[in-house]
Amino acid sequence: MFRSRPFDHPVPRSPGAALAPWARLTLAVALLLAALAPPSGTTRAAASPTLQLITEPDAGVAPLVAFIAAARHTLDGEIYLLTDRDVEAALDAAAVRGVTVRINLDPHPFGTARSVVRRAYAALATHGIQVRYTSPAYVFTHAKYIISDDDSAWIGTMNWSASAFRSNREFAIVDRDPTAVAQAAAIFAADWVHAPPAVQPTALVVSPLNARGTLAALIAGARRTLDVYAEEVNDPAMSADLIAAVDRGVRVRLVTTVEDAIGALATALPTVRRDRALYIHGKALIVDAGLPDARLFLGSENLSAGSLDRNRELGLVASDPAIIGPVERTFAADLAAIGGAAGGAPAAAATPSAPTAAVPSGPSGTVGVLVRLNSLLHTPM
């Protein structure tokens, strides 16, 4: 049930409002770097012009700043944690040049002082950005997306924080598929007024409607390999699905940072590696990389009961090899750097178990995931 609560309103922007000198300088530098050349962590999929992959910390903050700077009319974003000053400066600059900017901000990120959230709120509102706190219907609004001009959506695993762009393993996809963007916009519109979403997703998967089934179907459908980036896996059903994949002959490998947050999987899976050089905050399922029906899930959700059932999150499933390939190569490199590609070569394609739900695809070969996070073990980064 959705509970009502008074909205917070922005501080009116004076006609002469302008960015502070440091903000103008940092924004100008970031935009210059973005314009000179594509960042090393940015991949544009040749086979699918509607999709673009960003890998962190390789790309840095420049791609997100450039995405915001390209907006001409509107920016609608929903974010769990905002502390990065370059992102703030880009949003402020957009509002100052006349773009209508709306940001839905979670009021109580786990482990974060309320003063941090209030500072971010005030910094945005000062420059005329419309800011609201997210609906109390969700335990956390852990989503990390922003829609530009109703024609493109940045859908990421990362919060808009310094660590996300400097020391975390993260991913984002810029999606320009009209169906996916329109459905993301409909979700934002409902969340903005604290109402249940009216959209019936086809290119998106919306929690709690079908998120659990979609992720379970991806795991159950794996025939040869399943590579997992995970910050947290504590949902019994999802853990059982991963173990079942191993039992039917799928090579399952998992890279994490907080080993305590994956429970029995630390010993139940044949290949679990803990990355101490990068914080694994990105969440990804790479299913049957290299096969014609390969799938990739990227999103803000963990494989936990709260993530699937109680929070607001946004993610994406892609079937484009030009997107899947770079993520799989990054996974292989991370795995090798922290202990070798253990687990052996993938076996012959196994027979997938019966999926609990179909995984819908939009026209661009993508499907978004709007789900939830159990952040009891989550450290916001």
pLDDT tens digits along 307-327:
889 999 888 889 999 999 999
For β-strands 42-44 and 315-318, DSSP reports them as unpaired
For the chain, give every residue range classified as CATH 3.30.870.10. 28-198, 205-377
pLDDT at 379: 41
pTM: 0.83
CA distance 235 to 262: 9
Q: Which two tokens stand for residue 31?
A: 């935009």
> pLDDT > 90: what percent of the chain?
59
Across the range 321-344, mean pLDDT stands at: 86
CA distance 218 to 352: 10
CA distance 8 to 5: 9
Across the range 361-378, mean pLDDT stands at: 35
Sequence-separated (6 or more) residues with CB below 8 Å from residue 247: none
CATH superfamily of 28-198: Endonuclease Chain A (3.30.870.10)
Considering only residues 41 and 121, tell me which one the structure prediction assigns the higher pLDDT. Answer: 121
DSSP code at position 92: H
Question: What is the identity of the amino acid at 126?
Answer: T
pLDDT tens digits along 32-90:
544 444 446 766 554 457 899 999 999 999 999 999 999 999 999 999 999 999 999 99
Provide the 10 A C-beta neighbour count for residue 323. 26
- H-type alpha helices, 207-362: 211-220, 236-247, 265-268, 305-309, 321-337
pLDDT tens digits along 177-234:
998 899 999 999 999 999 998 887 777 766 777 778 889 999 999 999 999 999 999 8
CA distance 299 to 368: 8
Task: Output Rg (C-alpha) for the chain, integer angstroms.
Answer: 20
Name which of 377, 372, 21 is nearest 187 in CA terms.
Answer: 372
pLDDT at 19: 56
pLDDT at 289: 98
Per DSSP, the three-state class of 123 is: helix
Check pLDDT > 90 for residue 163: yes
Check pLDDT > 70 for residue 134: yes
Name which of 55, 278, 283, 40 is nearest 167 in CA terms.
Answer: 278
Instruction: Calculate the average pLDDT of the chain.
Output: 82
pLDDT at 203: 77
Q: HSE, CB side, 13 Å, CA atoms: give it for residue 179.
A: 15
Sequence-separated (6 or more) residues with CB below 8 Å from residue 111: 378, 379, 380
The CATH number of 205-377, from 3.30.1330.10, 3.30.930.10, 3.30.450.20, 3.30.870.10, is 3.30.870.10
> Highest-confidence range of 34-38, 43-47, 159-163, 341-345, by mean pLDDT?
159-163
